[in-house]
Amino acid sequence: MGWRVIDGRTEYMVNPLGLDERTPRFFWKLQSNDRDASQSAYRILVASSPEALGRDEGELWDSGKVASDRTAHVAYEGKPLQSEGKYYWKVRSWNRGGIASDWSEINYWTMGLLSREEWKGAWIGRKAEPNVELQPSPYVRKEFRVEGDIRRATVYATALGLYELRVNGRTIGDKFAPGFTDYDKRVQTQTFDVTPWLTEGDNAIGAVLGDGWYSGTVGFLGNHVYGERPFFLLQMNIEYADGRRESVATDGSWRTAKGPIVYSDMIKGETYDARLELTGWDRPGYDDSGWERPDVRAGYNGLLTATIEPPIRVTQTLKPLSVHKTEQGTYIYDMGQNMVGWTELKVRGARGTKVTISHAEMLNPDGSLYLDNLRVAVQQEHYILKGEGEERYEPSFTFHGFRYVELIGYPGEPNLDTIAGKVVHSDTRPTGSLRTSDPMVNQLISNIAWGQQGNFLSVPTDCPQRDERLGWTGDAQIFARTASYNMDVSRFFAKFMQDMIDCQQPSGAFTDVAPDAGWIRHKMWNTRLNWFAPDNAGWGDAGVVIPWTLYLMYGDKRILETHYEAMVRWVEYLRTNSTGLIRPDYANYGDWLSIEADTPNEVLATAYFAYSAKLLSRIAGALGKTDDEETYSRLHGDIADAFRRAFVSEDGRIHGGTQTVYVLALQFGLLTEPLRELAIRHLAEDIASRGGRLSTGFLGVGYLLPALTDNGRTDVAYGLLTQEEFPSWMYSIKHGATTIWERWDGWTEHNGFQTPSMNSFNHYSLGSVGEWMYRYMAGIEADPKAPGFRRAIIQPRPGGRIASVDASYESLYGTYKSSWTLDADGAFKLRVLIPANAAATIHVPGNRISIDGQPAAEGTSSFELGSGSYTFESRLQ
């Protein structure tokens, strides 16, 4: 009973604004109390008004009753969508018994400005101040009149740089818009409905501009990577109730001035002089006669495309755990969590007093802030008081990675209410949850999630603290699967894929960093060494791994279609640049930051080449390109042959002998059956010879536990998971880690801190073990034959010292759960939840299996089940 449509989405979003996708896709979920509930048909109506939908008229599109079980990626097929159109839709679903649901709630979306000609505004900025390295943030403003009732007022805006939009004193939108793209190629545009914020009569609109990635410091590349100073483009289209239309757009009639933000740079921090505040500048009636005319930029050759990435927001506020006064009279706070964002400060004091807020991830042995690993980054704000009672401050266009905060020059005695930590990241909705009986494993799970949210900021950055914070493609690909369990990264990675495409080389090579921030253009890599080459093994392969991951987890075929040619070019590039299908031994990053185990570059690069070919074959298959499927499957087989001839000896030893060579050979399908058995033995021996410890770096680590489990050594996998001696995940946790460290030896008892030139304490790559915890420990796996979790494979692998696991994953169909307990006497109990219109193949370990209290047929350990909740019991001993 109860057949309901819920959670209608358009292009993965709830009521999105400003799309430029002309055939947007619809998503909905179903709810039912019945087991085995599935959809037999649906009908979608799209109209230009909710009233029409109320009359069940879809004048733009009536799909008719479509016999189908699809509830995701149903593409619009109605009349052409218009620029600025607002569209409403609803859907009704029939279950397999033919019972119809009620119509869903009415959802809507709007289209943005679909052609360049419709952008009427000019790009405006403020002339740079001479001889000033870090420039003040420009303020821009304009007043306008509203005469009559407004039906709809929409702002379309973007910047080369960053902008914070204001309308009549109110901040509209999110942080760090328009996000990080290759500005030479494109900039993303944002759309805001400002109807509620306009009033009859005088109104004001304006923005504060930041340098951001466009003109501020990017990584270790200095500033002005794309341009010298920020520019802003805005157009507000007002539709009156009587049909009149007006536009307010950026042009030479706006005014600009500098204000209290003396500078604000992502990598260099901010100075804010509150004495320079422009009180009331964003409201009507402000006297801007002293402001300057803006600097109008001739134009912009890149593309203006609708934002794909999720907005960047403050999602949490942390209170500090403790504060203490240092001998120097400063105050050091412990936030209790290595976090990304900034500090909000409350202060009272005399006008002109300067308070410095300094941020660090760790403390030195003497208790001072450990700043050495920041390289040239400055994680500091300087706030200069205006002296008017309680002042509250937070910075605008910078962010930091930190656990500790030092207040220097604070007037009076601060307490735990003086500061708060604002947690900032791309707002990707949490979708996974995982808890076990083991507190240390739970801490590891938490560290992975914190590492992800902190580093997913417009692009998947490597780290949030030093002068880097770049979209390293290798880090992204090894972590993509973990990331997609933890959070809804459908659009986040779709955007990153576009970044990768934007910097794909004419040769077909994908770059190591995306956006590549001008590295290639500025020839900032050393061609002789190929350091920062555009095609490092395990980095460039992200161009194939990420779309495949999005297909598996979200069933997104469109991403495969859109980027298919680019993926083919990548694989063909690898083929062309190899000899006898063996990739060259050149200065790849290799199995980056492995520990006393150097994997030969050519082994690693050839293995990844094979993997890209294998995924491409599957992708071709998913798209129905059977010839290509065959071609790339054969290519994979040929590379595997070449790999074995070149690197594998008869006794199953692989050149290099590292854990990573075995792991990659096993997981990328490079071995024959007899060789697999030998390889797993060599792998287990290597682990044992190191005292049950791992040695893998970025590229091997994500596959290590899966390789062991897939080949019958779940015991060894659990041993590694809970190993507490160095090097291991638990070693960092034993020493207080609250995020994943960049390196196994970031800090050790024997050596203290690793070299400060590369020692981040918030790098998610080694956290790619999260994937194994979801897919193997909890056993919630996507079925590639019914991608996007239309069907799951539930196959928990109990083991080690773990007595219970409680996991869930919110898929596009709804929530899957897998919870198990294992008693000391071998009694195993598994509870599974399958959402409506989905199904699962459930593999229950052990013997004497029962389902919902009834003994299962002798010899049956796999169950094909539809939606509902089920309980299984078995005995593992």
- Asked about 630 being catalytic, the answer comes back as no
Residue type, 725: E
Q: Which of 270, 394, 742, 781 is catalytic?
A: 742
756 preceded by cis ω (within 30°)?
A: no
- Work out how close the CB of 466 gets to ligand BGC at its nearest, in angstroms, rounded to a whole number: 8
Tokens of 274: 């509150």
Q: Give helix 714-722 / helix 698-710 axis angle, nearest 10°.
A: 140
CA separation for the pair 246, 233 (Å, rounded): 17
Residue 156 or 479 having the CB closest to ligand BGC: 479
What secondary structure letter does DSSP report for 555?
-
Least separation in angstroms between residue 539's CB and ligand BGC is 7
CA distances from 759 to 142, 365, 742 (A): 46, 16, 6
Handedness of CA 542, 548, 552, 555 (dihedral sign): positive
Query: Does residue 176 touch ligand BGC according to CB under 6 A?
Result: no
| Beta partners for residue 658, in sequence order | none
Q: How far is CA 42 from CA 26, 52, 177, 272, 584, in A?
A: 12, 19, 37, 56, 53
Strands 456-457 and 432-436, sheet pairing: unpaired
Instruction: Round to whole Å and give the CA distance between 282 and 171.
Output: 9
Residues between 761 and 800 that touch ligand BGC (CB under 6 A): 763
| CA 713 from centre of chain | 32
**Pairing status of strand 269-273 against strand 380-384:** parallel
- Least Å distance, CB 473 to ligand BGC, is 8
Rounded CA gap, 653 and 648, in Å?
6
Angle, alpha carbons 683-689-695 (nearest 5°): 60
- Of the candidates 84, 381, 468, 629, the residue annotated as catalytic is 468
405-464 positions binding ligand BGC, by CB under 6 A: 462-463
- Note if 57 is an active site residue: no
CA 716 to chain centre: 31
Q: Is 609 in the site for ligand BGC (CB under 6 A)?
A: no
How is residue 157 written in tokens? 């805006």
Site string for ligand BGC, 556-595 (x = CB under 6 A): ---------------------------------x--x---
CA-to-CA separations, 228 to 216, 224, 231, 308, in angstroms, rounded: 8, 5, 10, 26
Beta bridge partners of 89: 46, 107
Token pair belonging to 104 = 């869903």
Structure tokens at 675: 């060789």
Q: How does DSSP assign 796-843, residue by residue?
A: ----TT--EEEEEEEETTEEEEEEEEE-TTSEEEEEEEEEEEEEEEEE
Binding mask 457-486 for ligand BGC (x = CB under 6 A): -----xx----x---x-xx-----------
Per CB under 6 A, 700 contacts ligand BGC: no
Q: How many angstroms separate the CA atoms of 336 and 322, rounded? A: 8
Judged by the rule CB under 6 A, the positions of this chain that interact with ligand BGC are 462-463, 468, 472, 474-475, 589, 592, 763
Active site residue ranges: 468, 742
